[in-house]
Amino acid sequence: MSKFLPLTHYNEPLAGGYRLLPFNFTPLDAADYVATTSVGEFVVLDRATLERFARHQLLPNDPFYNLLKAKHFFLDDDSSVALDLLTDEMLEFCKQHQVLISTSLDGAAELHNKNRPRPGRDSNARAIAGIQLAREKLGHDRVSAVMTTTSASLSLGREIIDEYVRQGFDGIFLRPLSPYGFAVKTKSYNAYDRHEWLRFFVDGLDYILELNRRGTRFIEQYSATILTKMLTPRNPGYVDLQSPAGIGIGVLVYNYDGDVYASDEGRMLAEMGHKNFRLGNVHTNTYEDILLSDQLLEPLEQSFTGSVPMCSECAFEPFCGAEPVYHYATQRDYVGRKAESDFCQRNMGIFRHLIGLMRADDEIEHIFRSWVFR
């Protein structure tokens, strides 16, 4: 007899309580644990809180309740997806103030519902309904979507792209999971490696090029960003491909408590206790304090790729950029050892592939140029 209850037990809604979603936990130190979900969300919990949560004893007034709910560790009767919360009043505000809306769309219903579970298993249907509503109120081009590549996504790249085409999007950003926070401490960032992701990316890009050849204009957005740097004098402003780094210059992130971070990844690191990229707080610091803080100026000073070891000698340096948050997260150094950097190895793989495609096929170069000069 199994010591585990059947899966149907966990699928039953708990009246007045919550239902656990799949997660892992790993000791962080003597007192704390890191809990992670299948799509890369993470949170640090002390043992007592973890036990209360796992035993369905976490109360709504507990500080961790809403955090765990927002990160999809459990579902309760009020669980929803972000676009479900949109009202006509909110959309009117977005329209008046030219606010753009972005949401998650991981693929077709089966994959999206697996990655974003909720009661009724209808996350995909709700996301699509929210996208359509926002488009009606704001305009088609005011709503975008991003996907998360989980291990379940790796064999479904073409199906994911088909779903984006079906939903009327003109492009997709094929992006890997980011290793911020939980991966550094638990070494659990092993759902797939950079080689598997590059195979996923190459196959997806091949399929996108095939769609373009058939007359369906569709863009792989990360490639288009890199190609803009390769083929034009323009800087597309993508934060991860800037020198000096784009943190704090191209982006500022305001947290719910007023804390200001140099990037969203810096905010994620702070949840793990590493507040190197916290620049200040809007309630206690001035704009000048925040933008001139050592927390920002120090990593920026170290992020000029033209003077960074290995970057300065790399043929791809003009197309690439510094990513001090990534390298601090993985190597505890703003510059990092480039030979050991998945950021560098992944980007160099993409650079080589894009250049190789253009050299081998004039039609592909024409398609790429149409993505850049649009």
Q: How confident is the model at residue 82 (pLDDT cuts 50, 70, 90)?
A: low
Residue 278: Cβ-neighbour burial (10 angstroms; 0-12, 13-18, 19+): buried
Q: How confident is the model at residue 13 (pLDDT cuts 50, 70, 90)?
A: very low
**β pairing state of 278-281 and 259-261:** antiparallel
Residues present in the chain in total: 374
pLDDT average, residue stretch 121-142: 91
Q: How confident is the model at residue 218 (pLDDT cuts 50, 70, 90)?
A: very high
By percentage, how much of the chain surpasses pLDDT 90? Answer: 56
DSSP secondary-structure letter at 60? T
Hey, what amino acid is at 300? Answer: L
pLDDT average, residue stretch 270-294: 92
pLDDT average, residue stretch 346-356: 97
Beta bridge partners of 24: 36
Residue 229 and residue 319 in contact, taking contact as beta carbons nearer than 8 Å: yes
pLDDT digits (tens, 9 = 90+) for 224-246: 999 999 999 998 989 999 999 99
How confident is the model at residue 40, as a pLDDT? 61
Beta bridge partners of 219: 171
Number of neighbours of residue 151 by Cβ within 10 angstroms: 12
Beta bridge partners of 27: 33
Q: How confident is the model at residue 76 (pLDDT cuts 50, 70, 90)?
A: confident
Q: How confident is the model at residue 262 (pLDDT cuts 50, 70, 90)?
A: very high
How confident is the model at residue 37, as a pLDDT? 76
Q: How confident is the model at residue 263 (pLDDT cuts 50, 70, 90)?
A: very high
DSSP secondary-structure letter at 247? B
How confident is the model at residue 182, as a pLDDT? 44
Place of tokens 């323009």: 234
- Measured distance CA(254)–CA(371) in Å, rounded: 32
Q: Please state whether the predicted TM-score (pTM) of the whole model is above 0.85.
A: no
- Measured distance CA(168)–CA(1) in Å, rounded: 50
What domains, with CATH codes, occur in the chain?
A: 7-76 (no CATH), 82-219 (3.20.20.70)
Q: How confident is the model at residue 8 (pLDDT cuts 50, 70, 90)?
A: low
Which of the pair, 265 or 4, is modelled with greater confidence? 265
Reply yes or no on whether the pLDDT at 14 is more than 70.
no
How confident is the model at residue 16, as a pLDDT? 56
Cα atoms in the Cβ-side hemisphere of radius 13 Å centred on 134 = 25
Look at the alpha carbons of 127, 133, 139, 140 in this order and tell me if their dihedral is positive or negative: positive
Of the given ranges (181-195, 204-218, 225-239, 267-281), which has the lowest mean pLDDT? 181-195
